[in-house]
Structure 1
């Protein structure tokens, strides 16, 4: 089997060495070259034609974002960003994902060598996912087509969304067309701490609905979207006529915290047939069992189509499990979600 060929671009000699150790420790991939800056990387890309590029955000001679923008416009390829765990780093990383990067890894703030090697398997998983990702030439996002205001369908209606690799942009595309009268949304996107707040704040500026990082115990309101905080599971709970957010730090599920399965199972219990479940692009099988539980509880369930996914892993597993009522292209998911909610209300 041909190994995944990786090129690392980072101005830190230590990071280049650690990434080389990590990549070469996995039998299905190899580091074919490293570069201290994008200008050298440009020549190495032409020479080696790598399958995946790992790219530092902040570098001399040319900023990582500038290089990524040119790369995705002129020669699209799978890119995994290497980011710092800072508020500035999270903002830059979200810009990189918007420009077309497949995923990102974070540098530990202390114990760099031990921290990077500790996440060796996770980094390798991200490189594998990137190597299979569907990448295309980057074009600036068009202004979202706003959907018509929905009929008021009651506060008991809820939409649950789960995503992983490629999910930040997919979620943006799903949320930005929604009208302010949309039902409440609860969202789990696989992300580390420190990034989910920046992600929520960015979406809040783009959307007609309100988007925020979820807080434990808060009431779930229509016209709002609640994003699970990084490294914390989020569940939906019912108290009388109202829904509330419950957060916990129980062990990871399917190697993830937050876990999509945790969210979907809780929505199946709390909302039953009043819910719509949506599983978007991502690697692995997190969410498949939970989406099936939602469908069995009477919810309408949607899976993103293969041709519109960056990585067709999580939707594929959900479809294989019989969890999806419908398989929908990303462009049509927003409207289908709202139609499903209105259809539920009309049946009642």
Structure 2
């Protein structure tokens, strides 16, 4: 078993100590060093040659995003951001993901020992996953030469096509890249992306600004219309509900499904039941298996499904699992998915 060499960068001595203690409990990750600011980290990277970094967002002398931008330009490597869930922290974290950070976690809270065990599991799994990422896949935010589809061939009916999309690790940037190449009258897209609720509004704003479609955080009972993207809130499951000849968003606060809320499984299951052959399923990059089984049910119900291919995915977990189950008719690189959606619309 290859040991993962980890460098922890955080200006808080307490956080550095807590994270070091968490990683000491597993045999496959070695904390080779810690740094209290990016300038110290820069020197330690040269000496210690770590495989993965955990990087605090807010630090003295140089903020985490500036450091990350320089790192990805000069020595690209997997980075897991450690961020507060304040509005400022959320915005900076989304910026870091755009620059190439693989994933993020919140700050551990020393005054909540009951949740530290779950936090340790989360950050350990994300560091393990980051160590497997192909560094070139972090270049996904570069603009592509794919032409924007005009969408003039699409005539929407009362029961118009709906795109149900699931994503996790790497999905925030993948979705933005996808919507850049969709026209304003593309089919409605419902998104289940694994994100904390504190990120929902900022993420929707970033997606809205990325292309011609309008994006928002979904509201319970909201009418689903072409040209709009409906993003599940970070603390709710989202379903597609049939209302006569129309579709509406249904939100609920049910239990976690596949350890997630929102769950892709819940969204896709509702689409299989209520949308059938009027659906297009899309599974983008993500860790785990959430949504794979329900995507197969979508196909059985008449939907046409697309999964992002392994080469363009940050993590080929969810799309890979859907592919193994035979849930998808198309396996495509990210830059070709928009054109395929419009061809099916």
TM-score range, shorter chain: over 0.9
Q: Offset at 1:153?
A: 2.8
CA deviation map 1:77-105 (0-9, x unaligned)? 00000011111111000000000000000
Structure 2 equivalent of residue 82 of structure 1: 82
Distance 1:247 1:108, change over 3 A: farther
Q: Equivalent residues in 2 for 1:18-33 (5 A)?
A: 18-33=18-33
Structure 2 equivalent of residue 52 of structure 1: 52
Distance 1:17 1:149, change over 3 A: same
Equivalent pair of 2:15/2:108 in contact (CA under 8 Å): no
TM-align CA RMSD? 1.7
Distance 1:289 1:221, change over 3 A: same
Equivalent pair of 1:80/1:101 in contact (CA under 8 Å): yes
Between the aligned partners of 2:123 and 2:102, the Cα distance in structure 1 is: 13
Q: Equivalent residues in 2 for 1:185-334 (5 A)?
A: 185-334=189-338
Structure 1 runs not aligned, ≥5 long? 342-348
* SS of match in other structure, 1:90: helix
Q: Offset at 1:307?
A: 0.6
Structure 2 equivalent of residue 346 of structure 1: none
Shift >6 Å, 4+ stretches: none
Structure 2 runs not aligned, ≥5 long? none
Structure 2 equivalent of residue 345 of structure 1: none
CA deviation map 1:230-251 (0-9, x unaligned)? 1211111101011111111111
Equivalent pair of 1:84/1:109 in contact (CA under 8 Å): no
Q: Equivalent residues in 2 for 1:26-45 (5 A)?
A: 26-45=26-45
**Matched pairs, number:** 341
Between the aligned partners of 1:308 and 1:29, the Cα distance in structure 2 is: 26
Equivalent pair of 1:265/1:293 in contact (CA under 8 Å): yes
Q: Offset at 1:15?
A: 0.8
TM-score normalised over the length of structure 1: 0.94
CA deviation map 1:54-81 (0-9, x unaligned)? 0000000111000000001111000000
Q: Offset at 1:334?
A: 0.6
Equivalent pair of 1:84/1:90 in contact (CA under 8 Å): yes
